[in-house]
Amino acid sequence: MANKSERSWREWKTQRRDVLRVIAAFLAEHFLPRRAFAKKIGTYSKPSHRVIIVTFGGGARYQDTLAPEGWRNIPHLTQDLIPQGLLYPTAINDGITDHYNSSAALATGNWQPVDPWGSQPPQSPTLFEYFRKERKLPAEEAWVIATNKSFGLIGSSQVRGFGDRYAANVILPKQLLLDAIQRAVSTDKGPGVENREAFAKQMLSALDEGYEGFGWQVYESGHQISRELKYSLEKALLDYFNDPRVPSSGDTLTFFMTKEIMRRFSPSLMLVNFWDMDIAHFGSYSLHLQAIMRTDRLVWELWQYVQSSPDYRGRTTMFVIPELGRDGDADGNGFCNHRSGDPSCRHVWLLALGEGVPRRAGSERPIRHVDIAPTAAEILGFKAPGLEGKPLVELAV
């Protein structure tokens, strides 16, 4: 019974994928301007280095990832990426162990005791603001692409002298996805979500209606999604629907959006937030582990993309870090949650890759999440004063 169902599901997917491929090719060839931002890029001095901070996110315990019993869940990290970089096996989250607070600590270099559900911006200036203000950079140079839909305000603080005018563009692909699903299933009429072709069209049309409904903060060109950005996002959506693995996860869409934004804008500073593994709250360990494995693959593919891109290869430093762990079995509430504040919630790891990073190296020195931001500031060559974190001295920046 299951085999028959799986077969029909597979056949159905294959047919839809072919149609989508044609649409994607058509769009790409006839509408997308090549290097749409070539003129804009020429109007400012683009930094020579790039930094990408990736949250291996949604909450991953050390025991399910970097500990020997977790290696099977992160084959790309252990076999492909760790040998290329510098591993800190002890990264400590000393702040509030919620996704928004922890990711905001990565983006600011300060612990962030703000509302965990993202209703408040970070209390101190973000890296994006320092970077753009000092280097007089446009918004295209700093992006946050986040699966977690509560990250709408993470792009800037409201500190005097900083704020929106120096913020990062923030887009929340999963919010777009959820919005489209919501519309598709709100009535029994229409194609719903089973017809991926129609569903993809529905998502594309949603982009015509602006972005604020998705909680996005896009400063790239006023308060309308510009033609170039819209094309980029459309391309990312079609790539997502064309993915041979037929994904339905928020992280996969985040990955495709990230690649497309890199391809079109080559931003110098990005925070990429993966989050699928927070499905652990549902209590299914296998779904949580599947999400860890998917994130492992997406991080690897992102690094491969960095290496294949002339705008990034040889000039990019990438940090990969779980923004938080999850509760331990014995002392906490188990993998489902991450609020006990036990060591399993706080002890994760950091992998640094790329420019200025020694290869096949490790440092036993415990570091903290707030150390990432000052390190990124040094790499990109701007000042970020008064941070709680300290630059990672092991990196040759």
The residues binding another protein (CB under 8 A) are 2, 5-6, 8-9, 96, 113, 117, 119, 174, 177-178, 181-182, 184-186, 188-189, 192-194, 199, 246, 248, 250, 281-287, 289-290, 329-330, 334-337, 341
Burial class (CB in 10 A: 0-12, 13-18, 19+), 307: middle
Report the alpha-carbon angle 105-220-241, nearest 5: 85
Burial class (CB in 10 A: 0-12, 13-18, 19+), 117: exposed
List the structure tokens of 60: 């991953």
Minimum CB distance to another protein smaller for 1 or for 38: 1
CA distance linking residue 18 with residue 52, whole number of Å: 33
- Phi/psi at 343 (nearest 5 deg)? -55, -35
Minimum CB distance to another protein smaller for 91 or for 184: 184
Question: Which residue, 337, 241, 269, 255, is CA-closest to 17?
Answer: 241
What's the min distance (Å) between Cβ of 283 and another protein? 3
The answer to whether the Cα torsion of 110, 115, 116, 121 is positive or negative is: negative
CA distance linking residue 246 with residue 243, whole number of Å: 5
Minimum CB distance to another protein smaller for 188 or for 208: 188
Minimum CB distance to another protein smaller for 166 or for 255: 255
What's the min distance (Å) between Cβ of 225 and another protein? 23
List the structure tokens of 32: 């997308």
What's the min distance (Å) between Cβ of 353 and another protein? 30
Rounded-to-10 torsion of CA 73, 76, 78, 81: -150
> Residue 50, SS3?
strand
Strands 220-223 and 367-368: unpaired
CA distance linking residue 198 with residue 192, whole number of Å: 8
Minimum CB distance to another protein smaller for 252 or for 266: 252
What's the min distance (Å) between Cβ of 112 and another protein? 10
What's the min distance (Å) between Cβ of 95 and another protein? 9
CA distance linking residue 19 with residue 352, whole number of Å: 40
CA distance linking residue 216 with residue 331, whole number of Å: 38
Minimum CB distance to another protein smaller for 273 or for 317: 273
What's the min distance (Å) between Cβ of 277 and another protein? 14
CA distance linking residue 274 with residue 322, whole number of Å: 9
Minimum CB distance to another protein smaller for 11 or for 209: 11
Minimum CB distance to another protein smaller for 192 or for 343: 192
Minimum CB distance to another protein smaller for 44 or for 285: 285
CA distance linking residue 342 with residue 47, whole number of Å: 40
Contact 122, 112 (CB under 8 A): yes
Minimum CB distance to another protein smaller for 32 or for 159: 159
Report the alpha-carbon angle 51-53-54, nearest 5: 140
What's the min distance (Å) between Cβ of 102 and another protein? 14
What's the min distance (Å) between Cβ of 302 and another protein? 22
What's the min distance (Å) between Cβ of 330 and another protein? 7
Minimum CB distance to another protein smaller for 48 or for 158: 158
| Cα-to-chain-centroid distance, residue 130 | 20
- Beta pairing partners, 260: none
What's the min distance (Å) between Cβ of 204 and another protein? 15
Other Cβ atoms within 10 Å of 17 Cβ, number: 16
What's the min distance (Å) between Cβ of 299 and another protein? 22
